[in-house]
Amino acid sequence: MEVTKTKTKEKSPEKVKIKGKWVVLLGAPGCGKGTQSEYLIASDFNFKVVSVGEILRHNKSTIVPGQVKTIGEIIGAGLLLPDEVVTGVVKLELQKMQSLMGNLADKNIIFDGFPRTIGQAKALNELAIEFKNSIDYVINFEIAEDILFKRILGRYKCSNCGKIYNDYFLQPKVSGICDQCGNNGFNKRGDDNEAALRVRIVEYYKNTYPLINFYKEMGTLYNIDAEKDFEQVKYCVLQILNKEYK
């Protein structure tokens, strides 16, 4: 996540005071929510991110409680981890953030890659109460399946600074050289291969898609057309976050 710190700070005309907002980014793998959350973290909006995927990848050799497989093996196969494992990881992360930054009631937090099931969404509501906050915005990134596949299968990262590229949509300006840091090494994420991807998408529609209705009923759901380019999607995200300050 150091990626974005070297960028020129953007003084956004839409700049507003956003305080104590907890935001869930919802959408199939490859919908672009990760890129938007990187923007929000690097911007003046002062968002912290809880990226469950990143945390789990850091703990990939841990054996899943009650199972013989490691976290890495389950994620690598595109499968979902048990709710209590994921929820436990999120709770630990929030506790860690609280001890570093103080009370989370007035902190802006983005949840990326979480919740992924109704059980996790209910657990997140309870966690929010525990940390004296609530889920204010759930931004749902809508995207067609074929575009999703290209975005995921084509995605790779600079091995030095972490900047994200894509074979189909976003190549470095000079082939093989990172725009941001000049490095010439790149990594594909381990869980991005095609077989795992298909499993992930099936898992998404089976377990995560029902969250759209869950949050609609809570009155916190906002839909975004995630097939638009980064700038347009960013504009929509900012409009949602700015809503009550207009």
Which residues are annotated as catalytic?
A: 33, 116, 155, 189, 200
Q: Could you give the string, one character per residue 128-167, with x where binding to Zn ion holds by CB under 5 A and - elsewhere?
A: ------------------------------x-xx-x----
Told to check if 184 binds Zn ion by CB under 5 A, we report no
CB of 154 to Zn ion, least distance (A): 17
CA distances from 223 to 44, 101, 140, 240 (A): 24, 31, 5, 10
Q: Which of 166, 180, 184, 193 forms a contact with Zn ion (CB under 5 A)?
A: 180
Burial (CB count <10 Å: 0-12, 13-18, 19+), residue 125:
middle
Told to check if 181 binds Zn ion by CB under 5 A, we report yes
118: tokens are: 């109704």
Q: Which residue carries 């091995």 as its tokens? A: 159
Which residues are 200's β-sheet partners? none
**Residue 180's closest CA among 162, 154, 207, 205?**
162
Told to check if 178 binds Zn ion by CB under 5 A, we report yes
Cα–Cα distance for residue pair 125/119, rounded to 1 Å:
10
- Single out the segment in contact with Zn ion by CB under 5 A; choices: 97-105, 106-114, 126-134, 174-182: 174-182
Told to check if 183 binds Zn ion by CB under 5 A, we report yes
Told to check if 193 binds Zn ion by CB under 5 A, we report no
Residues 6+ apart with CB under 8 A from 14: 238, 239, 242
Which C-beta is closer to Zn ion: that of 76 or that of 162? Answer: 162
Told to check if 3 binds Zn ion by CB under 5 A, we report no
Which C-beta is closer to Zn ion: that of 151 or that of 163? Answer: 163
Q: Binding residues for Zn ion, per CB under 5 A?
A: 158, 160-161, 163, 178, 180-181, 183
